[in-house]
Structure 1
Amino acid sequence: MTAAREPLSVVVTSFNSAATLDACLRGVRWADEIVVLDSGSTDATAAIAAHYGARVHVQPFAGYSAQKQAAIDLASHRWVLLLDSDESLAETAAVPLQQALHAPTHVAYQLWRREWQFWRWQSGRARLNHYVRLFDRQHARMSGHAVHEEVCVDGSVGVLDVTIDHHGERDIAGRVAKADRYSSLQLGDLARRRVRWLRLRMVAYPTVAFLRFYLLRGHWRSGWAGFIAARIHAFYAFLKYAKLYESRRQRRDQ
């Protein structure tokens, strides 16, 4: 007799996510539970979540890491699949996910993520990022970072052949606005790290970030969309250190 798989809670955080939430929930409707923690949407987000039988909770946005941890804490089951509301899985992803849950050999699993770049998906030959998204929540917790938050795991981590589609920003203006917002939010994390050689970082690191993103990660294969994404990535690398430099100057001049 085949052993029953571990029950799964899919956990999603949302805010005015009507444009992407349907695709997000459609691919995981087989799960034993869907939990949506919303930050007070005024669009059709709640109605879409209800259509898929999700259990919807509402709380003011507490920051990316804290909001996701709050959503994870609402899950009924030990095993959690964590998604953003602008991410989706193909329905065929159910097979490897369910197989992993029949007899887990790790306490967490990384999934690959494919990025939408303005008007096209990144090249299939560009390198995909991978993140811990499927995990036993008794062995995992959000990192607490203001941005670029991640799931920290106490135990072994495997990798599944499952790709998340990240729909992300639909245009250049949205990507630039995100770089501006994230660089401001990251100031606290950078200040705690006591970053040194700040002026050198402002000069050199954007070029390093561009070359790493564009050449080493293979986004040159995505044509002009990859080039523009790499330039904005480099701008973000500059902006976070420029804002930290400005913050230190302001404190010194007070």
Structure 2
Amino acid sequence: MLKKPTRDIPISAFLIACNEAEYIGEVLDSLQAFDEIILVDSGSSDATVAIAESKGAKVFTHAWQGFALQKSYAMSLCRNQWVLNVDGDEVLPAGLVAEIQRQVNDTDASALRLYFEDIFWGKPMSPFSGKRSIVRVFKKDVATYPHDRRVHENIILAKGAKETKVAGLVTHFGYATTEQLLSKQNQYSSLKALDKYESRKKPSLIKLCLIFPLTFIKTYFFQRMCLSGKRGLIYAHVEAMYAFLKEAKLFEYWETKGKD
């Protein structure tokens, strides 16, 4: 007897956005196979909302609360247990969408880890360079966003929740130019240093001295950015500067905000 095909388990895609008109149309086009698309906008002054509505997304306006709280709110609007989170500059290839659906249908895992291809200077890095990975597909009842983090708000999975990896790469346009990469890493380093300061973590002079060269070596050699030519060299330097700035700004906060 032929096995009756099973219906795809419904997945809600959600994202937060503000002034993402440059890529949002392409992002939402790549999400059309999912059961619903939730977009939470925090006050765009460009065409983000109009484009999202034209692509069939359910658009909600919500004042900015920080990355973790904003994503938590967007997730709460999703009607399905399985959800997918993307940013407004991340595009999922059709093959990856199909693989996500297959994994959700067939796996006993509660969370899926996706890998990312950063577009830098108009093209991807070497296929042999290291790729960032983040858990972005998960069941709502096993995942929470860390509300005590201003940045790098990756979900925290419940104890015992099983995670698996998905083959394929999400195309990320957010680091497209040197200016964009530097600007975001400068912003993120301020937020991360402030998180550390408020948790009363003290800076280290030894770390301040060593973090730049060690991070450069890790990124350029161990993550194989050396295989991406001049672009990899620049990327590794920016990554090292991000690590240095986190520690430098932590020193600054302790010096300027007081030591009590």
Q: TM-score, normalised by structure 2?
A: 0.92
Residue 62 of structure 1 pairs with residue 65 of structure 2: yes
Residue 174 of structure 1 pairs with residue 177 of structure 2: no
Summarize the Cα distance change of 1:59–1:252 in structure 2 as closer, same or farther, 3 Å threshold.
closer
CA distance in 2, matches of 1:192, 1:251: 10
Summarize the Cα distance change of 1:234–1:6 in structure 2 as closer, same or farther, 3 Å threshold.
same
Residue equivalent to 1:122? 125
Residue equivalent to 1:215? 221
CA distance in 1, matches of 2:35, 2:114: 20
Q: Which moved more, 1:222-231 or 1:189-198?
A: 189-198
Within the candidate set 10, 14, 37, 2:13 is matched to: 10
Residue 228 of structure 1 pairs with residue 215 of structure 2: no
CA distance in 2, matches of 1:196, 1:114: 34
Within the candidate set 125, 130, 134, 1:131 is matched to: 134
Residue equivalent to 1:240? 246
Paired-residue identity, % = 28
Residue equivalent to 1:152? 156
Output the amino acid matched with 1:153: L
Within the candidate set 33, 38, 41, 1:35 is matched to: 38
Q: Deviations over 1:128-163 (max 9, x none)?
A: 121111111111111232111101112111111131
Q: Structure 2 unaligned segments of length 5 or more: list them.
A: none
Residue equivalent to 1:23? 26
Q: Deviations over 1:40-68 (max 9, x none)?
A: 11111112111221100011111111111
Q: Structure 1 unaligned segments of length 5 or more: list them.
A: none
Residue equivalent to 1:111? 114
Give the C-alpha shift of residue 211 in structure 1. 0.7
Summarize the Cα distance change of 1:209–1:193 in structure 2 as closer, same or farther, 3 Å threshold.
farther
Summarize the Cα distance change of 1:7–1:173 in structure 2 as closer, same or farther, 3 Å threshold.
same
Q: TM-score, normalised by structure 1?
A: 0.94
Residue 82 of structure 1 pairs with residue 80 of structure 2: no
CA distance in 2, matches of 1:204, 1:253: 24
CA distance in 2, matches of 1:37, 1:21: 12
